[in-house]
Chains A and B, each alone.
Chain A
Amino acid sequence: MRSRIVAYLVTLWVVLTLNFLLPRLLPGDPLSALLDPESSDYVFDAEVRAALEAYYGLDRPLAEQYLAYLKGAVTGDLGRSIRLNQPVAGLLAVHLPWTLLLTGTALGLAALLGLLGGAEAAWKRGSAADRLLTAASVVAGNAPVYFVGMMLLILLGAELGWLPLAGGRTPFARYDGPLAAIADLGRHLVLPAVTLTLSLLGVQFLLVRNSVVGILGEDFMFVARAKGLRPARLKWSHAVRNALLPFVAHLAAHAGLAITGAVFIETLFQYPGMGRLIFEAVGARDYPVIQGVFLVVAVVVLTANLLADGLNARLDPRLAEEVGR
C-alpha cells in the first residue's frame, strides 16, 4: 500500500505542475492576453485585472510563481473567476456536491445492476437474453452520452412532461419541509442520473459478464461443481466473488468515465455541477475556473483510484498478505 500512496502523491504533483505549466508554456500566451490592452481578450474590469495579476504573477520569475501557486493550491487559494469576480475555491465548493451526487448515484446504480445483470448473463451465456443484453450494453456504453440524454429528455421531459427539463432544483422554490426538498432534488436528478447510469452500465455489464464467463471455465469451478455445490452458491460465492477483483480494479477508471459523462450531461441538463461550471467557464475563457475544475476533478479521480486499490487489497487475500508484510 505504501508504494500506492507514493504513486498517488507523485501523480498529484504531476497534476499540480501540469496545471501550473500548461497556460504558461502553451503558444499564444493566453494569460498575458488577458492583461494586454491591445488584445481582444483584455479584461476591462480593473479589480478583476488586479486579482488576475496577483494570482498568476506573470511579472515574477517562474520559480517564484511556481512556489506561490503551490502555496495557493495547498491553502485553497485558486484565484478569482474572471467572469463572476468570485474566488474560484468558493465556486468549486458550491458545484462539487452536485457532481458528487450525480456521479455517486449513477456509479452505485450501475455497479449494482452491472454485477447482477452481468453475472446472470454470463450464467446463461449464449441465450437470447444474454445476446440482447450484451448488444444493448455495447450500444449504451458507446453511444454519445449527450445524444442518449437528449432522447430521454425529449421523450420523458418534453413529450410526456413527466420530469423537469433542466436544472438541479426548482428555481426560487420554497419547500414545506425537508421531504418536499428531497423530492424536488430527486425529480431533477432522475434524467441526468438515468442517462449516466445507462452509459456506465454498458461498460460495467460487459466487464462483469466477460470476467464471469472466463471464470466459469476455470478448474476450480469444475471442482466446485463436482463437489455438488448448489448453483446459487457456485454462481455467487465462486464465480461472482472472483469477478469482483477486476470489477473493483476498474472502478477507478469508471470514476473517470463518470466524470466525463457528467460534464456532457450537466451541460445538456443545465445541472449545476462541475461540468456545467467548466462549460460556462470555457465559453467566457475564464481560465482560473477551468484550471480549478481540472485540479479538483483530478484530485477526486486520483482519490477514487487510491480507494479502489485499497478496497481491492481487502478483497483479495493474496494482495492483503503483501500489504501486511
Chain B
Amino acid sequence: MSVLSRQAVSVVRRLRRAPDLELETALGGAVLGLFLLVALAAPLLAPYGPHAFSGLSLGRPSAAHPLGTNDAGQDILSELIYGARISLAVGLGAALGTVALGLLVGAVAGYAGGPLDALLMRLVDVMLTLPRLPLLILLAAFLGSGLVQTVAIISLLFWPSTARAVRAQVMSARRRSYVKMARNFGGGAGYVLRRHILPAVAPLIAFGLVAAAGRAVAMEAGLAFLGLGDPTAKSWGLMMRFALNLPGLLLTDRWLWWLLPPGLCLTLLILALTYLGMGLERRLHPGLRR
C-alpha cells in the first residue's frame, strides 16, 4: 500500500474515532454528496440537454418544464442540473491545483529554511495583501475565458494561505525528536519527507482541499456572473447573469424560477463546503472547540 493511501486510511480512521461528528459537519458532507450524485447522474436526471431548445421562450413552470424555460427556450431545470457539473469540476480542479502549489511551496520553504524560505514567505506576504478579485479580473481579461483558464487563475491566486500553513507544520515536524533521530540514522530528505513530514501535513491537506474548493466554487460563479467565465459552460453564475440581463426581470415573478434556484444551489454548495471545512479545522485545532 502506498504511503498516501495508508495516510488516507488513517485519516478516515481518525475521523471515525472522533467522539462527536457535529451535526453541521455531517449535514455539509451529506449536501456535498447529494450535489456530487446529481452532477454524476445529470444525463439521467435532467429532462433535456442543457443546450437543447425544448420549449417556447420564457415559458412559465409546467409539467414539461418544472422550472419553466429561459429566454432562448431552454429548460431551466436541466440547466440547473448540468450546472452542478461545472461548479463541482471547477471546485475540484482548483482545489487540487491550489493545494498542490501550496504544498510544494510550503514544504520546500519549511524544509529548506534559510534565504529560500525567507524569499518564498515574502512572496506569500505580498500575494496575501494584493486584492484578489481585481487581480483575478485582470488575469481573466488577459488570459481569456475558459474553464481551464478559470481553474488555473484561481489556483495561481489562492495557494499562499495553504503554503503558509504547510510551512508552519513542516517546520514544527522537523524539530520533533523522532524526525531528528531518523535523520541522524541516515534517513535522506526524500525518506524523511515521505515517512514523517507528509503524515504530519496530511490533515492540513484535507482541510486545505475543502476550503479551496469552497472559495473556487464561489469565485467561478462570481467570474461567470461578471461575464468573465466560459460563455459555453453554463454554470449557475452564468444562469444568474443571463436571468439578470432580461430587462425588468425583478418586476415580474419570473425571478422565482429563473434566478432563485441557481442562487440557492450555489449558496447551499458553498455553505456545505464551509461547514465541512469548519469541522475539519476543529479536528486540526482542538483548541477551537470551546
Q: Do A267 and B226 have beta carbons less than 8 Å apart?
A: yes
Q: Chain B: which residue is nearest A274 at the CB level? A: B134
A284 to chain B, nearest CB (A): 10
Q: Do B221 and A14 have beta carbons less than 8 Å apart?
A: no
Q: Do B130 and A157 have beta carbons less than 8 Å apart?
A: no
* One of A144, A279, A298 near B221 (C-beta < 8 A): A144
* One of B125, B130, B138, B250 near A7 (C-beta < 8 A): B125
Residues of B within 8 A of A290 (CB): 137-138, 141
Is residue B49 within 8 Å, beta carbon to beta carbon, of the partner chain? no
Number of interface residues of A (CB under 8 A): 56
* One of A142, A217, A260 near B214 (C-beta < 8 A): A142
Residues of B within 8 A of A256 (CB): 129, 131-132
Q: Do B134 and A22 have beta carbons less than 8 Å apart?
A: no
Is residue A291 within 8 Å, beta carbon to beta carbon, of the partner chain? yes
Q: Would A263 and B137 be within 8 Å (CB), given that A143-B271, A282-B228, A297-B131 are in contact?
A: yes
Residues of A within 8 A of B130 (CB): 11, 15, 298, 301
Is residue B61 within 8 Å, beta carbon to beta carbon, of the partner chain? no
- Which residues from 5 to 24 on chain A have a C-beta closer than 8 Å to any C-beta of chain B? 7, 10-11, 14-15, 18-19, 22-23
- Which residues from 202 to 228 on chain A have a C-beta closer than 8 Å to any C-beta of chain B? 210, 213-214, 217
Is residue A30 within 8 Å, beta carbon to beta carbon, of the partner chain? yes
Provide the bound-state CA to CA distance between A70 and B114, in Å: 33
Binds A, one of B13-21, B34-42, B259-267: B259-267
Provide the bound-state CA to CA distance between A146 and B266, in Å: 11
Q: Chain B: which residue is nearest A264 at the CB level? A: B222
B30 to chain A, nearest CB (A): 17
Q: Do B222 and A26 have beta carbons less than 8 Å apart?
A: no
B227 to chain A, nearest CB (A): 6
Q: Do A147 and B129 have beta carbons less than 8 Å apart?
A: no
Q: Chain B: which residue is nearest A291 at the CB level? A: B138
Residues of B within 8 A of A82 (CB): none
A-B contacts counted at CB < 8 A amount to 128
A125 to chain B, nearest CB (A): 8
Q: Would A138 and B274 be within 8 Å (CB), given that A144-B222, A146-B225 are in contact?
A: yes
Is residue A94 within 8 Å, beta carbon to beta carbon, of the partner chain? no
Q: Do B131 and A138 have beta carbons less than 8 Å apart?
A: no
A168 to chain B, nearest CB (A): 18
Is residue A283 within 8 Å, beta carbon to beta carbon, of the partner chain? yes
> Would you call the interface of chain B mostly helix, strand, loop, or mixed?
helix
A256 to chain B, nearest CB (A): 5
Is residue B80 within 8 Å, beta carbon to beta carbon, of the partner chain? no
Q: Do A147 and B266 have beta carbons less than 8 Å apart?
A: yes
Residues of B within 8 A of A147 (CB): 240, 263, 266-267
Provide the bound-state CA to CA distance between A282 and B137, in Å: 8
Q: Chain B: which residue is nearest A139 at the CB level? A: B271
Residues of A within 8 A of B275 (CB): 138
B76 to chain A, nearest CB (A): 16
Q: Do B131 and A154 have beta carbons less than 8 Å apart?
A: no
Is residue B288 within 8 Å, beta carbon to beta carbon, of the partner chain? yes
- Which residues from 239 to 288 on chain B have a C-beta closer than 8 Å to any C-beta of chain A? 240, 244, 250-251, 255, 259, 263, 266-267, 270-271, 274-275, 278, 287-288
Is residue A34 within 8 Å, beta carbon to beta carbon, of the partner chain? no
Is residue A302 within 8 Å, beta carbon to beta carbon, of the partner chain? yes
Residues of B within 8 A of A138 (CB): 271, 274-275, 278
Q: A26-B142, A144-B218, A147-B266 are in contact. List 8 more A-B contacts (CB 8 A).
A: A11-B125, A138-B278, A144-B266, A150-B250, A154-B255, A210-B288, A291-B138, A301-B131
Q: Name A residues whose Cβ lies closer than 8 Å to a Cβ of B.
A: 7, 10-11, 14-15, 18-19, 22-23, 26-28, 30, 125, 138-139, 142-144, 146-147, 150-151, 153-154, 157-158, 165, 210, 213-214, 217, 252-253, 256, 259-260, 263-264, 267-268, 278-279, 282-283, 285, 287, 290-291, 293-294, 297-298, 301-302, 305
24 A–B contacts from the bound complex (CB under 8 Å): A142-B270, A143-B271, A144-B221, A150-B240, A150-B244, A150-B259, A157-B250, A158-B251, A165-B250, A256-B129, A256-B132, A259-B134, A260-B133, A263-B134, A263-B137, A263-B226, A278-B134, A282-B226, A290-B137, A294-B134, A298-B131, A298-B134, A301-B131, A305-B129
Q: Name B residues whose Cβ lies closer than 8 Å to a Cβ of A.
A: 122, 125-126, 128-135, 137-144, 214, 218, 221-222, 225-228, 240, 244, 250-251, 255, 259, 263, 266-267, 270-271, 274-275, 278, 287-288, 290
